[in-house]
Amino acid sequence: MTKQPPTHALIGAALALGLGSGMAAAETATGTMLANTCAGCHGTYGNSQGPATPTISAMDPVVFVETMQYFRDDETYSTIMGRIARGYSDEELEKMAEYFHQQEFAPAKQDFDQALVDKGADLHEQYCEKCHIEGGKPVPEEEDYYILAGQWTPYLKYAMSDFRDGRRELTKKMKSKLESMLESNGEDGLAALWAYYASQQ
């Protein structure tokens, strides 16, 4: 009669195989696979269809990784992103960052006040252009850029509220520029900037 291996040995082998296949799947997960989980909020290929959510296609990969790490480590205020970010390793974030960096940015189709666009362009040139070059557009050949042009206006307003209310930290340079712009132009200055960014469709 053929001797059968003990039941616990079979269970142990099955667990080992299961763990091994799970580890292999994690190791081979591509940026595309990982990024698919973001589509529900940030849209297909990272182009948001919801006005409160930013488009993350064409995003600077370094900025993407750092932003997600800040969310994960509770260094940046969030409603849900902190919990989501904690589900990813640094290696997975880097894969996702590269995937989104390679996607084409699709500006949000939205209404804006045409009468304010020229003023917004002037204010951007005076207060924002040194950091947000090319009018705030994505510039994949550059480094450390943040996309403003073509983002949903409600998202930009929410983000600005977080900065002004202290929920997110302003750099010294941005704080100085923002205070100077508001002192000279007030809330109308922000309205003009929103119109300028929204006009870039």
pLDDT at 154: 98
Binding-site members for heme c are 38, 41-42, 81, 128, 131-132, 174
* CATH classification at residue 75: 1.10.760.10
The parent domain of residue 116 ranges over 107-200
Domain-terminating residue out of 82, 105, 128? 105
* Predicted pLDDT of residue 159: 96
What residue type is assigned to position 105 of the chain? F
| Residue in this structure with the two tokens 């712009």, named with its chain if needed | 181
Residue 67 shares a structural domain with residue 91: yes
Alpha helices by DSSP H, listed for the chain, are 7-28, 31-35, 39-42, 61-72, 81-85, 90-101, 114-123, 133-136, 153-164, 172-199
Q: Are residues 152 and 167 in the same domain?
A: yes
Instruction: Round to whole Å and give the CA distance between 25 and 183.
Output: 55
CA distances from 178 to 14, 134, 164 (A): 60, 19, 9
d(CA 117, CA 63): 28
Question: Would you list which residues are annotated within the binding site?
Answer: 38, 41-42, 81, 128, 131-132, 174
Q: Are residue 142 and residue 127 in the same domain, yes or no?
A: yes
Looking at residue 28, what is its pLDDT?
A: 61
178: its two tokens = 């923002």
pLDDT value, residue 141? 86
- Local confidence pLDDT in tens for the 201 residues of the chain: 444 544 444 344 333 334 444 444 445 689 999 999 999 999 999 999 999 999 999 999 999 999 999 999 999 999 999 999 999 999 999 999 999 999 999 999 999 999 999 999 999 999 999 999 999 999 988 888 999 999 999 999 999 999 999 999 999 999 999 999 999 999 999 999 999 999 999
Beta-carbon contacts of residue 195 (< 8 Å; ≥ 6 apart): 112, 113, 114, 115, 116, 117, 120
How far is the C-alpha of 60 from the C-alpha of 198, rounded, in Å?
Answer: 20
**pTM for the full predicted model:** 0.83
Comparing CA positions, the residue from 22, 25, 37, 104 lying closest to residue 68 is 37
| Pair (182, 121) in one structural domain | yes
